[in-house]
Amino acid sequence: MNKINNSLMAILAALSIGQLHAQSIKGEATLAERYSAVRLANGYYQLSLPAGNYRIFEGNSPREINYDQPILEAAGNVIISAEADERKFFSIVAAPGDTVVVSERLIALKGPSNFRDLGGIRTTNGKYTTWGAFYRSDALASVADTDFPYFESTGIKSVYDLRSQLEVNEKPDNLPASAKWIHFPIFEEGADSKEMKAIMQKVMSGNLTTAEAGELLAEVNHKFVADRLDRFKTLIPQLMDGDDAVLFHCTAGKDRTGFTAALILSILGVDRETILNEYTMTNYYTIDKVQRTLTQGTLSNYAQANGGLLSLMTVDRTYLEAAFDEIDKQYGGVDNFIRNGLGITDEKRKMYMERYTL
């Protein structure tokens, strides 16, 4: 930590990726899914289905499902074989007109722990966000070259890196040649230096409380709306106007990335409670990494007495709620915010919904 920068987000990133010692964390799947798919270690898929009779079809993309012949008929949970480096999408048909497409939400690469698909999330009009269109992740420096074929099977052609130049320099992304890296920092270098010096003094002295950590991260999310809206106003159309799948990430994949995901889901008509539940899935997916820091934290000599470090390493719905509160305060709700804050017309939003929901 000798190279700690004064940038607010650089410090938060360092605290969030498992460099600190924490006492405990409870990982809970907060996003309710009636049908789900998990990719097993051997590349096979486990589909979790409620009791019933189903016909299951598969394809290499959600819009290219082969409905000529089901791959199997099932009455509950099933295991489906697949190659280790290919991604599959499954259409689960319970009855005519009752069809749901699923795939793995977590893209389980050897390095990143928070790489996930924003597809399959129910909207307020009864549709679901399209799988394989938008991906969110933590930093990608640890992606193994051997995972490139699986990475490429996601269809991702553009990777938007929301980190500062300092973060990029320390841990540049490792990407296959097929993915274009685009640097799009949300925060400027050197911002909030006085505030962060005070926070780091507390960390080093062991006096950072849970309340202070929570207030800090809530303020970060508040600033996304109050101070950094122009960045997101430019970013969102770039993510949503392209023809291919995109991935956006920061270091921990929770704050800058979490707010970006919340904006996309809001535009597509997902209700706020579901968005908050998707946001807190970070704790569920990163629990293993956090637990490893319990005995391997490089700052454990400083961190043992810091009750607030766990809050910095994880997410809480109150952090993202701080951004929504500012949206409500300034714009009177998310719909007006999308129109007047992000500058997305109702016609453009309708186009996004038609394109990215099924």
CA 89 remoteness from chain centre: 20
* Cβ proximity of 268 and 352 under 8 Å: yes
The Cα–Cα gap between 168 and 9 comes to 12
pLDDT of the residue at 96: 76
Residue 178 near residue 276 (C-beta atoms within 8 A): no
- Give the model's pLDDT for residue 20: 38
- pLDDT value, residue 155: 95
pLDDT at 24 over 50: no
Of 28-42, 190-204, 340-354, the range with the highest mean pLDDT is: 340-354
Burial class of residue 230, CB neighbours in 10 A (0-12, 13-18, 19+): exposed
Neighbour count for residue 348 (Cβ, 10 Å): 17
Measured between alpha carbons, how far is 108 from 38 in angstroms, rounded to an integer? 10
Give the least confident one: 57-61, 204-208, 352-356: 204-208
> Does domain 34-104 correspond to CATH entry 3.30.200?
no
CATH number of the domain located at residue range(s) 8-21+113-356 in this protein: 3.90.190.10
- Position 19 confidence tier, pLDDT thresholds 50, 70, 90: very low
pLDDT (tens digit per residue) in 68-108: 999 999 988 999 999 888 899 999 999 877 899 999 999 99
pLDDT at 305: 47
Q: What is the DSSP letter of 123?
A: P
The model's pTM: 0.90
Is pLDDT at 3 greater than 60 in this prediction? no
Which residue stretches of 144-228 are H helix? 148-153, 165-170, 193-205, 210-226
**% of the chain surpassing 70 pLDDT:** 82
Of the chain, the percentage scoring pLDDT greater than 90 comes to 69
Q: In this model, does residue 16 exceed pLDDT 50?
A: no
Report which of residues 94 and 121 the model is more confident about. 121
Answer whether residue 25 shows pLDDT above 70: no
Predicted confidence (pLDDT) per residue in 234-244, tens digit: 999 999 999 99
Distance between CA atoms of residues 40 and 257, nearest Å: 26
Residue scoring higher pLDDT (213 or 1) = 213
Are 12 and 139 within 8 A, CB to CB?
no
- Give the residue with greater pLDDT, 353 vs 297: 353
Please report the pLDDT score of residue 15 as a whole number. Answer: 47
Q: Where are the domains of the chain?
A: 8-21+113-356, 34-104
Instruction: Give the tens place of pLDDT for each residue, 239-279.
Output: 999 999 999 999 999 999 999 999 999 999 999 999 999 99
